[in-house]
Amino acid sequence: MLPVDPNKKLSFTRSICDGDLVIVYERHDNMKALKVCKDSVLQNRFGVFKHSDWIGKPFGTKVFSNKGGFIYLLAPTPELWTLVLSHRTQILYIADISLVIMYLEIVPGCLVLESGTGSGSLTTSLARAIAPTGHVYTFDFHEQRAASAREDFEKTGLSSLVTVGVRDIQGQGFPDELSGFADSVFLDLPQPWLAIPSAGKTLKPDGVLCSFSPCIEQVQRACDTLRSNFTDIRIFEVLLRTYEVREGKRDCGQADGGNLGSLPRKRRQRSSEGNSAHDNLSYPSVMARPCSEAKGHTGYLTFARLKCLS
Amino acid sequence: MSQNKSQAVIIQNPRVTWEGCSVLLDINDGDRLVFARLSAASTLKIGNKNFSLQPLIGCPFGSSFQIEIGDKGPFLSRFVASIEGNNAQEKEDFESQEISKDNRALVDNNKAQSLTGEDIDAMRRQGATGDEIVDALIKNSATFEKKTLFSQEKYKLKKQKKYAPKVLLRRPVARSICEAYFKKYPARIGFLRVDTLSLLLSMANVSANSDVLVVDMVGGLLTGAVAERLGGTGYVCGTYLGGTPYPMDIVRIFNFSDEVCNRIVRAALTELSLTPTVTLEQIHQQENELNMECLSNPQMSSSVSIEEISPSEKEISVPVPENVVSLVNKMGKSTKAGNKASQQAIELWKENGFSSLIIAAPELDIWSLLQDIWPLLSNSAPFAIYHQYLQVAPCDSSLMPSCILMMPLATCMHNLQLGKMAIGLQISEPWLREYQVLPSRTHPCMQMNAFGGYILSGTKICSS
């Protein structure tokens, strides 16, 4: 997924090979990840696709089934992975992930701790941010979940950047051998306040901690604990409002310069100089409006910085 | 693990300041934000006095400083905040007091404080520290005891800001730089909010070893943020229309190593475009223009310092090229970021394409720009375009038929769809709300920024 090997970088000359991970794009809300295997086929409502037809084609290409249906084959990215991964837990999405990486000040070479691993959605983006020289240590107390995460990181080619441990961070804290090494710590735990003292020990002075909690009561308690040896405590909620854009016909019959201002925003407007000329005409227009449905809440992001005491 | 430790020893510890390093000084919890370059001669003005920044050199980022009185007068001195004790008791006190106290007895008649301005000046002359003055003010306040614990805290903080200012040493990284500019001079970074910037970097899949093409008309913030994520691998290439690159002074505020600076390059869009091959003459011409841009830097630097600076304070504003240059000479290394992309690199990009694209160019017509840039972007490459305007259209509606309408991102998205140029297209608008979380006083912050701009993102597909 990541160009850890510079030769695997996306390019006009790089083509899909046997064994590559590809994202099969049917529609924006229908994608899946697949390993290309020359003897394999993909079967869906558009027909049967032979993997062997894909080999040698560039990423981003449109491929056809036996029935003439088509899909696109995309190079995997952490964003696409977040949309196709198998949900073993509730996962973090792009808005929270992006703010977490930025606010935790994660750059290549950083050592980052995470608990729990969950489905590995954030972990994949953490790995991208610390590559090629840093490392992510991620912990989950659920053995099977940790094993599935490990398999996923193997599949996405991130295993050299990520170590998955089975450990109850709320109960046992982070391993002692990591003490004082972490640049950043991310907690997604039901009782984050139990893990905060240990997170404080593993962080470098001025290192940043983030705790993700869906409920304000969790935030309240986490903040009470944080105040003893953390500073710069900031709590955010971040959401995305998306827009739908479509082409439609707009009746311009009554349109004149005077009422243009009252038309819906962002709507493409076309009129001609002579108003009388376009009476009762309709024009194809680009119409945009915010999507009616959106996520109203994901979680609160609590950030804090370890005090410099030496 | 041990490998990591030894690495940290060899490389300049990025968590401790050094002579010549760029810092962000946060005075009184964000009341003032000043970018500075630390040297023996640099100073910071607090109140009506200049303080040397020498004591900040060699201190860890995150340390705080306050004013102390020495033999030679006041100076900045580091203080280490103690770990707060068990605050459970405090909380209980607060909760019980909260019930019994209110503001019915407070009368605003300006008689509450018995200490006069002269008294305070006298204390100062006798060498009282700021904290002592704050204590005296509290002792001499007739109403302090009647206030709730919460308003006592507020009172103390207000007086502390005035009489015992604190300076916090912050690391200039994409997060802090973006927040500082957004707070003080948002127009200079095209109103690019920190969460929007973070989304651009994710959506464009900026990762080590990638070659990122940017159109950065936000002062270099975008270029710097991308370079930070590349960590000295891959390239961030800033492209521009016409002969003059867009200013990127903000890049110099980051403490980038040479390896990182070398990965920040610039090339005119005409040079990058596939046809026609650039003649040697044109290259020379462009080089000259680039040099001219360097010469005009002192002028540009003034647009970058966060605070309006008096001449005596000039040493501390960042970036002051003279300072940077002298530093470079002393250390015998070049820290110039944004060199012209080599012909070799340009050829390579023409052959392979860029692996991602980010545009933050509020002043350009996005669609026509995108059409020119499109062939440079590799297949399956993700892109993200930032725009702060809902609509860009001529005021005079009678002009509309005769000119290209710029309904910036919606039109752009529609055209990309029609042309079957990209998939996964989405226009999104981030919404960010900050909270105050305190015992019994948790609520969203009273003031919030209501707009983070629009982003059009998607993935390029092969043209059929």
* CATH number for A14: 3.10.330.20
Token pair, residue B408, equals 């910036």
Q: Write out the residue range of the structural domain in which residue A18 sits.
A: 6-76
Closest CA to B462 of A62, A65, A25: A62
Q: DSSP per residue over B303-356, as a string?
A: TTSSS---GGGGGGSS--HHHHHHHHHHHT------EEPPHHHHHHHHHH-BSE
Residue B464 contacts A where some CB pair is shorter than 8 Å: yes
Contacts of B233 in chain A (CB under 8 A): 6, 108, 132
Give a yes or no: residue A113 inside a domain: yes
Residue type for A105, please? E
Residue A231 lies in a domain: yes
Contacts 24+ apart (CB under 8 A), B283-287: B283/B343, B285/B243, B286/B243, B286/B340, B287/B340
**Domain count across chain A:** 3
Residues A87 and A164 both lie in one domain? yes
Structure tokens at B419: 């042309």
In a shared domain, residues A214 and A265: no
Q: Domain end: A41, A76, A111, which one?
A: A76
Same domain, A140 and A255: no
CA B173: distance to chain centroid?
A: 7
ipTM of the complex: 0.91
Give yes or no: residues A115 and A220 share one domain.
yes
Residue spans of the domains in chain B: they are 89-163, 181-460
Q: What separation in angstroms does the CA of B268 have from each of A99, B220, B363?
A: 32, 16, 17
Boundary of a domain, candidates A42, A76, A110:
A76
3-state SS, residue B283 = helix
Based on the domain organization, do A268 and A283 belong to the same domain? yes
Q: Is residue A262 part of a domain?
A: yes
Say yes or no: A100 and A187 in one domain: yes
Same domain, yes or no: A230 and A256: no
Longest pairwise C-alpha distance within chain B: 82
One domain for residues A57 and A87: no
Q: What is the pLDDT of residues B234-249, one digit of tens each?
A: 999 999 999 999 999 9
Question: pLDDT tens digits, residue range A179-221?
Answer: 999 999 999 999 999 999 999 999 999 999 999 999 999 999 9
Q: Which residue has the tokens 């004149």?
A: A256
Residues A188 and A112 in one domain: yes
Facing B15 at nearest CB: one of A206, A228, A235? A206
What's the CATH class of domain B181-460? alpha beta
Give me the residue from A12, A242, A269 closest to B351, CB to CB: A12
Q: Are A91 and A231 found together in one domain?
A: yes
Minimal Cβ distance to B231: which of A97, A107, A236: A107
DSSP B141: B
In sequence order, the β-bridge partners of residue A41 are A50
Q: Is A168 annotated as a binding residue?
A: yes
Judge: A216–B442 Cβ closer than 8 Å, yes or no: yes
What does the pLDDT profile of chain B (464 residues) look like in tens digits? Answer: 444 444 444 456 889 999 999 999 999 988 999 999 999 999 999 988 899 999 999 999 999 999 988 888 889 999 887 665 444 445 555 555 555 677 777 777 777 788 888 888 888 888 788 888 888 888 888 888 888 777 888 888 888 888 889 999 999 999 999 999 999 999 999 999 999 999 999 999 999 999 999 999 999 999 999 999 999 999 999 999 999 999 999 999 999 999 999 999 999 999 998 654 545 455 555 555 544 443 334 333 333 444 433 333 333 333 333 333 333 333 334 458 889 999 999 999 999 999 999 999 988 889 999 999 999 999 999 999 999 988 887 777 666 554 455 568 999 999 999 999 999 999 999 999 999 999 989 999 999 999 999 999 999 999 86
Classify residue A1: in a domain, yes or no.
Answer: no
Q: Which of residues 440-459 of B touch A (CB under 8 A)?
A: 442, 454, 459
Distance from CA of B90 to the nearest CA of A (A): 11
Answer with the one of A49, A76, A103 that is the final residue of a domain. A76
A140 is known to lie in a ligand binding site: yes
Statement to judge: residues A70 and A106 lie in one domain: no
Same-domain check for residues A122 and A252: no
Interface contact flag, A310 B351, Cβ < 8 Å: no
